[in-house]
Amino acid sequence: MSAAAETFPGGVAGGGLALGSRGHAQALTEEPAHGPAKRIVVAYGFWIFLISDIILFSALFASYAVLTDATAGGPTGRDLFELPTVAIETACLLLSTVFCGFAGIGAQARRNTLYYGSMAATFVLGATFVAIELHEFATLIAAGAGPSRSGFLSAFFALIGCHGLHVTAGLLWLLTMMAQVYAKGYRDDIRRRLLCFALFWHTLDIIWVALFSLVYLVGVAPR
Amino acid sequence: MNTSIPESHGDVAPGDELGPADVPHAIRGYLLGLALATLLTCVSFYIAQSTLVWQPSIPIALSVLALAQMGVHLVFFLHITSGPDNVNNVMALAFGLLIVMLLVFGSLWIMTHLDHNVMPMERMMRMQR
């Protein structure tokens, strides 16, 4: 086993082809501006950012966990959460994450149909998710269960709302990436940005797994 | 022994061109991930509403299922693997998880203790009267 090739999250096994048997550090100094080394460094840096984002969510999550029972005599999760809605949201985000993966494959293979089609599907599913969530929030607030009702609801809106904001930002980024590929083609730097976008989108879905399992499902589960 | 691209995941080297022949293979990887994630999601939703599992253990069961699904996402969508070429990514993730655990369980632990030891407001009011 000579020279284990460096890879990056989302990308895959394989800097080995271009880096050959040279070490990573050496490759870095020899290829400062482009090539696989740059791609690895960019993706790794973004991976570190995503992990810090996960830590941000865990702080909101911890406050939610502490405040679940602080309902101040108001409605609990069991009274408010509607599982069919959550199931549709989950399906939207899961499918959009898979389409986002397809878009990455399309960009690597430079197949326009696969790339633009998958990105469009990702956008539609992501936008549906945000729309359903906004509707859910509006319904809760109209029913008097807004963030100011109790500590539980404050934490709930902060946690779910923060995820929703991330998805919304991701949708804007998605449109930007479609426009950039349209204007500039599948250039190396554009594909690095695409890789970061894919990492971001997949990570949002991982966070949603924690949210739907531990906020919604545990919230309505019989105790 | 092996300096060429390991073909185990149907993915390509960074900056490398992907031949059209590899596209179906890569797509199959994502579809497999989708199937596993869907299965785990369905089980989670089913368990939360059924009497199949002993009720007090439902949160634990849901946590385990969520962890499993996160693992599926990491492997099939983010391509985080246990291979030697992925050590840096896994180490960063492991450190992140350590912080997450400290934050979540530390908060819960401390706040539960406070809850136990601090007198409820009503009782305090009654005593002051």
Rounded to whole angstroms, the Cα distance separating B9 from B30 reads 10
Cβ distance B43 to A68 under 8 Å? no
The full length of chain A comes to 223
In angstroms, the Cα distances linking A223 to A83, A153, B56, B63 are 17, 20, 6, 15
Query: The tokens of A108 are what?
Result: 């690597």
Closest CA of chain B from A77, distance in Å: 13
Rounded to whole angstroms, the Cα distance separating A193 from A184 reads 12
Which residue in the set A20, A114, A209 is minimally distant from B73, CB to CB? A209
Q: Which of B33, B81, B113, B92 minimizes the C-alpha distance to A209?
A: B33
The structure tokens 């990573």 sit at A24
Which residue in the set B23, B48, B93 is minimally distant from A217, CB to CB? B48
Contacts of A40 in chain B (CB under 8 A): 14
Cβ within 8 Å, pair A202-B19: no
In angstroms, the Cα distances linking B54 to A223, B13, B42 are 10, 47, 18
Contacts of A12 in chain B (CB under 8 A): 9, 11-13, 79
Q: Using CA atoms of A109, A114, A116, A118 in order, give the dihedral in degrees to the nearest 10.
A: -120
Whole-prediction pTM value?
0.83
Rounded to whole angstroms, the Cα distance separating A9 from A30 reads 23
Closest CA of chain B from A103, distance in Å: 10
Residue type, A31: E
Rounded to whole angstroms, the Cα distance separating A141 from A209 reads 24
Cβ within 8 Å, pair B77-A59: no
Closest CA of chain A from B119, distance in Å: 15
Closest CA of chain A from B113, distance in Å: 11
Cβ within 8 Å, pair B13-A6: no
Per-residue pLDDT tens digits for B89-99: 889 999 999 99
Return per-residue pLDDT of chain A as tens, 223 residues: 344 445 566 555 444 334 344 444 444 444 445 667 788 888 889 999 999 999 999 999 999 999 998 888 889 888 999 999 999 999 999 999 999 999 999 998 899 999 999 999 999 999 999 999 999 999 999 999 999 999 999 999 999 999 999 999 999 999 999 999 999 999 989 999 999 999 999 999 999 999 999 999 999 887 6
Contacts of B30 in chain A (CB under 8 A): 98, 101-102, 105
